[in-house]
Structure 1
């Protein structure tokens, strides 16, 4: 599969000496919805700024849509829609007039269809009813939507979104996920950075995990989650008794989650789940549920780093 984005040894060290991105080797398959996942401060935005030619890398190379960046920026950027670090808006202009200004600044845009395209972009992000209001009166979520509309004024081969659901309520987040899926179905490659595991897991086909400027892993979402072991989950009113039995049987990481749930690591080789259930029943534990929960991206992240993650 061709790569929409590819980097080799991409590195950014600022004058202060801070290393923001270190030797990044990234491959974003064309046609994918690629989640660039990591805590705030892990180097995601710095990477995007290098890919878009906004800052020069200290070392390494990057190609976007098959062309070297930033050298080929004039060729590449008209094919890319981007929302990076929140939209830059004219507060004294309406949402509609902001988009008209954005479109007029694009030398590839057809003036004859400008008004219709602006209206379509506003409608697509749910801002048509507020199109005439001044941008300074918009909420944070509405500003995010307007920035996304600006990225959608023309068909793009690649859409780069930096934390696109910042400031959105749950309904707005669902709408953006739906929009991303629609764009991908139309053939657009979507590169989406986020610190929200749930967002990535719901909408992305591929993912890369960053921490402290370094790439930890990348690949299809399903494969990454599959590398992490799931959790043994026991549902019972006898949580204390169940936890004791599981620990005696050598189950690691046993935790009482609440007054009805006990979890632990799946048993290793040589121990069958049926052995665990039989031992629990023999000890008088009343079982209401028992099984291995599928591993999630959160499980994969914790397995990779040994750390928790911001999933709020």
Structure 2
């Protein structure tokens, strides 16, 4: 079985009582330790709401791909439990996997076959697939990912982005309750990335829950309704994307020909994280209860010529850095 073809609540550490109503993925204490003692995933308590587009975030080596492999029954956990679509994994893999489409770490393709024939081969290997509708489903999947015109070319001649599209098409050959995507826009140009984001939204609108691992924070922020952040194998936070962003402070920016004076006044008013860049002075947004108008008035009283003054809301990247204390690299 290839990876391609196979396939918010706060963490708690209570005993496993099975899946929660309204969740498509639920793990409790999920742990994976490899030989030699390497701890890849450490006591993961994850809850993915049904109907959500769920972003799975974390820096290199954080345990995301290992988690996905355990969820799909590709590797066994060392301890803990995982329920997918209400069934325990990997025990219920034969029941669960036909309802799951997956693209993990890039597609496994037959280079000597055309894109179309690859999908026919994948579909033929699925015991639940109706051979009478195979050709129509293959053509529909190719069209949905923008490969209809290239369907007759051999897969070995495909670019990386085209291979990603073909892998996604394989995951979409059948109606899916859950779609698991690991870096689905890898190798795509900006237009291709927009098309995949649109497709993900369409699938979610049709009732498919999408579990999306990506190193592109902007991509997660644009398309996901919920997200979880991991670091060093542990879950740091999970919940609606809007709530995660709200947990980080935004930035107050002042544009002025008097940056030194502006920085001094802001520091006198308790500003933190001051950064001066040319005629722009930025700082962490004031804590709740501080009136921005008072800060602006203080600048004017001090003779600072204010050309622009405003607060930029915190992004998901700001929240990630605040949680992990590090920048974002590539998928783990």
Judge same fold: TM > 0.5, yes or no: yes
TM tier, smaller: over 0.9
Aligned residues: 311
Q: 1:259 Cα shift?
A: 2.3
Equivalence for 2:159: 139
> In 2 relative to 1, CA 236–196 (structure 1 residues): closer, same or farther, beyond 3 Å?
same
Higher relative contact order (CA 8 A, sep 6+): 2
Equivalence for 2:8: none
Q: 1:13 Cα shift?
A: 0.5
The 2-side partners of 1:46 and 1:193 are apart by: 12
| Aligned residues of 1:197 and 1:311 also touching (Cα < 8 A) | no
The 2-side partners of 1:269 and 1:163 are apart by: 37
Aligned with 1:176 (options 196, 212, 219): 196
Query: What pairs with 1:52-131 in structure 2 (closer than 5 Å)?
Result: 52-131=72-151
Equivalence for 1:294: 313
2:37 aligned with 1:17: yes
Equivalence for 2:299: 280
The 1-side partners of 2:189 and 2:330 are apart by: 15
Gaps of 5+ in 1: none
The 1-side partners of 2:198 and 2:101 are apart by: 17
The 1-side partners of 2:104 and 2:289 are apart by: 51
Equivalence for 1:309: 328
The 1-side partners of 2:233 and 2:76 are apart by: 16
Q: 1:232 Cα shift?
A: 1.2
2:179 aligned with 1:159: yes
The 1-side partners of 2:268 and 2:329 are apart by: 33
Equivalence for 1:31: 51
Of 103-112 and 268-277, more deviation after overlay is shown by 268-277
The 2-side partners of 1:165 and 1:18 are apart by: 29
Of 272-281 and 208-217, more deviation after overlay is shown by 272-281
The 2-side partners of 1:238 and 1:166 are apart by: 44
Of 21-30 and 221-230, more deviation after overlay is shown by 221-230
Q: 1:231 Cα shift?
A: 1.2
Q: CA-atom RMSD, angstroms? A: 1.5
Q: 1:173 Cα shift?
A: 0.8
The 2-side partners of 1:35 and 1:96 are apart by: 30
Gaps of 5+ in 2: 1-20
| Aligned residues of 1:196 and 1:310 also touching (Cα < 8 A) | no
Of 298-307 and 125-134, more deviation after overlay is shown by 298-307
Equivalence for 2:285: 266
Equivalence for 2:13: none
TM, length-normalised to structure 1: 0.96
Equivalence for 2:5: none
The 2-side partners of 1:283 and 1:235 are apart by: 15
Q: 1:127 Cα shift?
A: 0.7
The 1-side partners of 2:289 and 2:29 are apart by: 43
Q: 1:244 Cα shift?
A: 2.5
What are the Cα deviations for residues 56-108 of structure 1, in whole angstroms up to 9, with x where unaligned?
00000000000000000000000000000100000111111100100000011
The 1-side partners of 2:279 and 2:196 are apart by: 36
Q: 1:275 Cα shift?
A: 2.2
